[in-house]
Structure 1
C-alpha cells in the first residue's frame, strides 16, 4: 500500500504557501490575523515592482554602490512593493469581494477570515505609510519638487480608479490592463530613476511604451477569472474576444513591445544591449508556444513562471542600456 501521507502534507504546505503569497489555488482556513493581512497584500505581486525600482536606478546612470544607496534603494522597494502594492491589492480585494466569492472564495474577505472594517484600516495604514515614506525619500534626494510623493499619489489614484466605481477601469480589458501594466513597469521605474537621477520625458515615454508589454502580462491573469468576469459583466479580453484570440493578443503585445524597445536601443547605438534584449524575447516565444497558446486556462501559472524571468531580465538590460547612453 502506498503511503499518501507525505504527499498530502506536501499538498497542504503548498496550499498554505500559495495562500500566504496570495496565489491562485490557495485554501481557506487561516486564522492568524497577520497572515491574513499579508495574504490580502499578495506578496507575490511585489516582485515586479521591486524589480522596477532596480531598473529605474540603472536607467538613471547615477547609481553608485554604497551602503547609503543600498539602504535608500531598499526603502524605495519597500515603498513600491509592500506599501503601495500592498495598498493596491488590499483595495482591489475590498472592491472585488463579490467576484472573488465566485472565482476565489478562499480569499480573506469572501471566506470571512477578516472583516470589512479591518480591511479598511489596513488600506488607510498602507496608504499613509507609503505617502510618508515617499516624502522622506524626497527629502533625502533633495528634490525641490516632491517627485516621489507625486508618484505615490498618482499610483494611489490609479489603484483607486482601477478597482472602485464609478470608473472601475478593470471592467474594461484594455484600459484596466494597461493601467495595471503601467503600474507594474513604469511607476516603479520612474521612482527608481527619480531617486538617483532626474526623471525626464524620454524615460517616461519609453517606459509607458514598455508598459504595453505589461498589458499583455496583465491579460494572463484574466484567464483564471473568466467565468466570474462573464457572470458579473466585466469586459476582460478573454470575455470580449474568447480564450484563443485573447491569448494571441496577449503574446503579441508582450513580444512586440519588447522588440520595439530593442529597436530603440539600436537607434541610440546600444547594439549589444539590444541584442541581449532580443535574445531574451526568444525563450518567451518558446514558452508561449509550449504552454500558454495551447491551453491558457490550464497553463497560465506555468507560463508565467517559465517566461517572466526573461521579461524582467530584459527590463534590467534596457535600464542599463539607457543609463549607459545617458538618456
Structure 2
C-alpha cells in the first residue's frame, strides 16, 4: 500500500466537522452537571464548579424573569443605564444569591433523600464536605440580604421593603427544607410555598424597586403562584421513590403518578386562564388574548410529553411548555403596568 494513501482513521481525525460522540456526550453531561439538572453524574473535581452545581443555575431563570415581570408591572421602568444595572442587581439577588442559597440549603437537608434518588449529587457523593456546604449557605444568604439592603437605599424606601422580602423569602426557604416544619413534606403546602417563591417574591421585588407594591399586585401574584404550584409538582416526579421510602407526602406519592400529572397541568392552565379573565375584566383585552394564545401550545406539549409519561418526559416537558408560561407572566406584567398596576 502506498504511504501517501490516508487510512480511514487518519482521515476521520483530520476532519474538522466530525466530533467523537463520546466527547460530545461528556460535554453534555458536564453542562447538565453544572446547571444542576436531573441525571447529572458526578465526576467534577473543581470545588467552584461543585459549588455552582449545588446552586442549580437552571433554577435561577424563573426568579430572574419574575424581577422582569415586576419591573414591567410597576409601569415606571425606563430604559436607562442606571435602571438596567439596578434591575441586574435585583436579578443577582433573586437568582444566583437567594435562589442559590435556597438550592444549597435544600440539598443540605435532602442529603438522605438524594442518597436514594440522586446519589451522584455533590453532598451524598462526598465531593464536598458539610462545613463547606454550610459556609456556602451563609455566604449566599448574607450576600443576598446585603444586595437587598443596597437596593432599598437606591430606591429611597423609608421602609426596607426589598430587605424584608429577602429575609421573608429566605425564612420561607428554610422552613420549606428544614425540620421540624419542613413544608415540603406536605405536597400542597410545600409546592405552593415553592410556587410563591418563584413567582410572587421576585415579582414583588421588581415591583417595589421601580414602583409601589400594591395590594392588587400582591393578590394577583399569589393567585398566579397557584400555577407555580403546578410547576413545582413537576420536580416531585423525579424523587417519588425516595419520597415514598422516607414518608414525604408529595402529590405523586399521595395521588399516584397519573393523577398527580393531571393535577399539575390543570393547576398551571386554570390559574393562567384566571389571570387572562382578570385582564379582560380590567379591559386589557389584547394582553388577555395573547395570554390565552400562549396557553394553547402549552396544553399541546402537556399532552405530547407530560401526561403520557411524566417520569421520563419531565425535563423535555419543562423545556417545551414552560417558556409559554414565563412569556405569559411577562404579558400579564405588561398589562398591569399599562393599566397602572
Match for 2:51 among 37, 40, 48?
37
Match for 1:245 among 259, 262, 268?
259
Between the aligned partners of 1:321 and 1:260, the Cα distance in structure 2 is 14
Runs of 5+ in structure 2 lacking a partner?
A: 1-7, 13-17
Match for 1:77 among 91, 103, 114?
91
1:212 aligned partner: 226
Match for 1:286 among 300, 307, 310?
300
Runs of 5+ in structure 1 lacking a partner?
A: none
Q: Secondary structure of the equivalent of 2:249?
A: coil
User: Shift in Å at residue 5 of structure 1?
Assistant: 7.7
TM-score (norm 1): 0.98
Q: Does 1:89 align with 2:103?
A: yes
Q: Does 1:185 align with 2:199?
A: yes
Deviation string 1:262-285 (CA, Å, 9 cap, x unpaired) is 000000000000000000000010
RMSD: 1.3
Between the aligned partners of 1:25 and 1:97, the Cα distance in structure 2 is 16
Between the aligned partners of 1:43 and 1:290, the Cα distance in structure 2 is 27
Deviation string 1:280-325 (CA, Å, 9 cap, x unpaired) is 0000100011000000001000000000111000000000000000
Deviation string 1:184-232 (CA, Å, 9 cap, x unpaired) is 0000000000000010110000000000000000001111111111111
- The correspondence of residues 9-88 of structure 1 with structure 2, limited to 5 A, is 9-88=23-102
User: Shift in Å at residue 65 of structure 1?
Assistant: 0.5
Between the aligned partners of 1:26 and 1:152, the Cα distance in structure 2 is 30
Q: Does 1:277 align with 2:291?
A: yes
User: Shift in Å at residue 106 of structure 1?
Assistant: 1.1
TM-score (norm 2): 0.94
